Amino acid sequence: MYTVNGDLLDSNMLGASNSSSSEKHAKEYCSMYGICGQREDGKVLNCPYSVPAVKPSKIFSSKIQSLCPTITGNVCCTADQFDVLRQQVQQAVPLLVGCPACLRNFLNLFCELACSPNQSLFVNVTSISQVKKNSTVDGIAYYVTSTYGEELFNSCKEVKFGSANTRAIEFVGGGATNYREWFAFLGRQASHNEPGSPYSMDFITTVPPSSSMDPMNVSVFACGDTSLGCSCGDCPSASICSDSLPPVPHKNGSCSIHLGSAKVKCIDFAMAIVYIVLVSLVFGWGLLCKTENSSKASPRMRPLLHTEEESELHSVNKNEDVTLPVQGDEKVPISTKESTLPFIQCYISKYYRKHGIWVARHPSLVLGISVTVVVLLSLGLLRLEVETRPEKLWVGPGSKAAEEKEFFDTNLSPFYRIEQLILATVPLSKDSPAPSIVTDKNIKLLFEMQKKVDGIRGNYSGSFVSLKDICMKPVGDDCASETVLQYYKMKPELFDEDDGASHAMFCFEHYTSSEPCLSAYQAPVDPSTILGGYTGSNYSQATAFVITYPVNNAVDKTGSENGKALAWENSFIHLAKEELVPMAGSHNLTLAFSAESSIQEELKRESTADIITILISYVVMFAYISVTLGDISPHISPVYVSSKVLLGLSGVLIVLLSVLGSIGLFSVLGVKSTLIIVEVIPFLVLAVGVDNMCILVHALKRQPIELSMEERVGNTLAEVGPSITLSTLSEVLAFAVGSFISMPACRVFSMFAALAVLLDFLLQVTAFVSLMTFDFRRTEENRVDCFPCIRVSSLATELEHGNLGKRQQKPGLLVRYMKDIHAPVLSMPAVKVAVLLVFSAFAFVSIALTTRLQPGLEQQVALPRDSYLQGYFNNISEYLRVGPPLYFIVKDYNYSLESDNTNLLCSISQCESNSLLNEISRAALTPKSSYIASPAASWLDDFLVWLSPEAFGCCRKFPNGTYCPPDDQPPCCTSADGTCGISETCQDCTTCFLHSDLIGSRPSTVQFRDKLPWFLSALPSADCAKGGHGAYTNSVDLKGYENGVIQASEFRTYHTPLNKQRDFVNAMKAAREFSARVSDSLKISVYPYSVFYIFFEQYLDIWRTTLINLSVALGAVFIVCLVITSSLWLSAIILLVLAMIVLDIMGLMALLSIQLNAISVVNLVMSIGIAVEFCVHITHAFSVSEGDRAQRSKEALTTMGASVFSGITITKFVGVLVLCFARSEIFEVYYFRMYLALVILGFLHGLIFLPVLLSVCGPPSIKSVLDNDEQNQSRTHPNQHDLGLYKMERESSD
């Protein structure tokens, strides 16, 4: 990227003659003629002599006509002046040649000034200086009409300069916004050794009435002129472009309704209407029922009233075995339809009874086998591998973005690595703004920091690596560092020579046009890339310096290709932490920093950040289990006997073994683990597994003491086995559904979690049941907990007096609360109506809130709270004013002359109006919807311009046909100070092609193929800014291009600044939609690529992924419930409650600003499985109890409410509560908040809403149905009935 020297604007080419010094303003008269001297910097000065115009020779006239076709007849310039003119304007030609109308108008401005025979009519010498006793021009007045100025500016204002992703007016006009500013820029007198005119030119558009001056008003070609037409990208106002206006911004705004002055979303309004209708129906139904009941008693209610009176006879809490469905199940013959409904549940209960009896008889054998199996699985940990690379964690193998990235990296070049510093000022007080960073003191500090960065030496395999060894060097040996220090060529001594910070402020406004502002690598430095915290173009008010070090990158296939860069980055981070941050702080500044490897390294560190939190969670859970499993009443038995510390510890160890077994098995299978697995799954399985332990122990406590231990254990498993099996299978299936998510980290997490929960369940019904048998025998034998060898005698006395049996019959505090307070309150009609309405309202509100969920995962959330990257990402959002680079990749571009691909891609003259580059330029006009900040840098446009005969300083060849560089490059120029003329070495160089050599201004296939390598290796310079080396070195894949097809090429632009996650998602979506539309229109394969796409692709269809996974999970749970309960009615109620819990969680996510991403989707899916535990035990107890719905709901709460509260709700609450102290914000946001919401909502729905719902519309009792069928069967087949009873009794005794 090269600027045009202001020398192209010199009036050095204006002449004056020695023959006359009298001033005359008339036709065929000159105001200046000849060269009378030169300045110290070599700029030639014209003679201020007014003489008649001179008739040129025929050869000279032809030479003038080739550049200035409007100049005919006599002229006011000599051959030397014309050579200077040609030499200077050649710098502007490559910038403007893409728009022939603009170029012709621009050349005419200086041709008329230099050689017009009527020069004296519009040029007046206003100031003269003496150089070596010769009078020379020091200032002129150049009269032009305002119409001419306006039309000239309009023809050039939109012309692009591709390689710099900006407009050419930034270079040839100093960023002028109107013709007056442009003329002011052109007319300023340059200081010594600065580009520009050696004397001032005052452009005047009004002429005094008494003046004889006649303003220059040569014809101006409009940029839309058909004879010299420009492309739509350079001239959007052209008539040919009127049919391809910028696309109308797509409005993604949600539907809304205006209610007076209020604006309400359609979804909110719809939910309110539905809820009002629902409430009206409920109250209407209530009034109707009340009216009917008041007029007469319904015959249908009498049996229910009768049943309610006799409910005590059917209590599930009696010592009889009526709570166990197996006792009723086996009585029912299989021949009738209803009797098949509880078959699965009957079979599971029967199996668990036998299983429990067998385990209780052989506890040592079962414990040994189960532990041995899990330990063997855990040996797979020896092959454990942990994946930490972000692109491997968060991007699926079939990802479209991953494939596009691989294509880009393989065929072009991987995007460079970014090392960055952000040095910012801080406000002097709370209410005052931050001061400007652009001061002498701060720039000197930056030089000191840069010295330390240059001194970094990273150790790579025993060799030292410096920044120069790895940095990106587009041209020469200087690093392409983006920093304000580039305005001083990275040299501290130039800072003092160039007036300190004043020079930087000058360069902010003239970085494209002032040669002293060029970087050390000879390219302009856009202030928007090195400054931050300013508004508009007020660069001097910037509050931050942004320093970026682009480092060469390699395709990382094994993780070691970028070893040198990683070694340097480690040293860079250490330097920033230990030295640079304190340096900034001592100057009352802040410093944020980041390296390419920072995120990966901080994620590794995060894996150890919460180990203490996890350990505390286990300790707290262990303490709670020990308390809740044991009996702590001191007057019943000694605490050290009735406590169950050893059993609780064993349960925690079982959880750990299940986790280790899961990780070990997958490690053997070659599945890499992730850090989140190590951190979350132990906690998750602990929270899930403890519930079943509590339920098993509490169920065993409820068994009659008169039964043997084997019978009690068998009855316990038969009683709760179906429900814990149902909950576990639901959890495993729900977790397994998460394995269908494409994101590897979440998929692997789901797989590991599903297997860990399954192993934990298997260990619970084997190893834990064995341990539970040992522990209860220990208690009955009056042995001390944790020290079973020690035996006391108090319990034996209690056994002799029969008090132990009485003690076991006495209900606990929670049971009494559920029976005497909770259940009766919920049975009140008013409470039922209130519960149904309130929970329904929660559901409808949650549906409305769910639409407000935002996709994404903030980078700050994924990192430890104390990470140095937290401040860096905050500064990125606050200070950066440029967006990520955006590349449009074109596959299989056919450049042959027979193909129309070239004109369908380019954006210069004769290109199609709907070409790719014209469409990109058009999209950049609506950045808020397209997220495209500027037109694309086009290697194709610049190549075609570089080839053009008009750009006579670019594509040149020696007489032998080899490449000839521009006159200001070696070997044509060898001057150390850069002042070069036409050298002998290159004086015979000619343009590569004449106009006659091209076909319709386009190269032939052979010409294109032969000259493309020349272009890509051509260095840009002042004489030819279109050289492709550096700007386009990696833009074209030359592999196999000889056959007429370029497999891959890119056109570079930028996204608008992106701060929020939704901005990244919308930018990617907009770019893909744009590319798809253009590809379909042009029939050329085009796709967009940016470095962040690979991580944000998941969010394009995150809602679809969420709905599919939730639907599959709910469907899986429904099927499991249907198979095990054999009740469609009951399964539908469970499904409804689960759906309401998930909806409420999503609504809370919106309120708590939890974003929708793969992690939250996995959590939502898992919440379905976990929420089953809050529902299944209550519904199971409800289904096997007898009486009317209200009585059975009370019985279910009395039987299982306490267990659900203490064994499920409290255990999960205790485990989750510890996570609020996690150092990782991802733990606090996505695990503490979401799982706490799940626990609370599960408790509310399971113990409040579900019992009320069952009491209103619950299914009939399974036992009632079976008893009725049994009675019918006994009347018809009494012998079969007696035989069934006999078989059941025999199996029970066995």
N-to-C CA span, the chain: 91
pLDDT in the model for residue 949 = 85
Pairing of strands 956-957, 885-894: unpaired
What does 1076-1120 look like in DSSP terms, one character per residue? HHHHHHHTSEEEEE-TTHHHHGGGGGHHHHHHHHHHHHHHHHHHH
Is 447 within 8 Å of 485 (Cβ atoms)? yes
Strand partners, 966: none
Is 543 within 8 Å of 534 (Cβ atoms)? yes
pLDDT in the model for residue 167 = 82
Q: How far apart are CA 503 and CA 716, in angstroms?
A: 86
Report, in this order, helix, strand and coil percent for the chain, each rounded to 5.
55, 10, 35
pLDDT in the model for residue 1167 = 87
pLDDT in the model for residue 1138 = 94
Is 823 within 8 Å of 835 (Cβ atoms)? no
Q: How far apart are CA 1239 and CA 1246, in angstroms?
A: 10
Q: How far apart are CA 1164 and CA 1217, in angstroms?
A: 19
Q: How far apart are CA 746 and CA 279, in angstroms?
A: 41
Is 1053 within 8 Å of 932 (Cβ atoms)? yes
Amino acid at 775: D
Any residues with CB less than 8 A from the CB of 165 and at least 6 apart, and which?
934, 935, 936, 937, 1052, 1053, 1054
Phi/psi for 878 (5° steps) reads -85, -35
Q: Is the pTM for the entire model greater than 0.95?
A: no
Token couple for 171 = 């270079």
**DSSP H or E stretch at residue 390:** helix 390-394
pLDDT in the model for residue 990 = 87
Is 775 within 8 Å of 644 (Cβ atoms)? yes
For each successive 10 residues of the chain (1294 residues), what is the average pLDDT?
38 39 78 88 85 91 86 90 82 80 90 92 91 89 93 89 76 86 88 76 89 89 78 76 54 65 78 85 74 56 40 39 37 34 75 93 94 93 81 76 90 91 90 91 95 94 92 89 94 87 89 83 90 89 95 75 89 95 94 91 72 72 72 55 82 88 92 75 75 84 88 90 85 81 80 91 93 89 81 56 47 80 90 91 92 87 85 89 93 93 89 90 90 91 88 88 88 67 78 86 92 92 84 91 94 91 92 95 95 88 87 89 85 94 94 88 85 86 85 88 82 77 78 89 93 90 57 48 41 42
pLDDT in the model for residue 1180 = 81
Q: How many residues in total does the chain contain?
A: 1294
Token couple for 1018 = 């051509």
pLDDT in the model for residue 96 = 84
Token couple for 105 = 């108008």
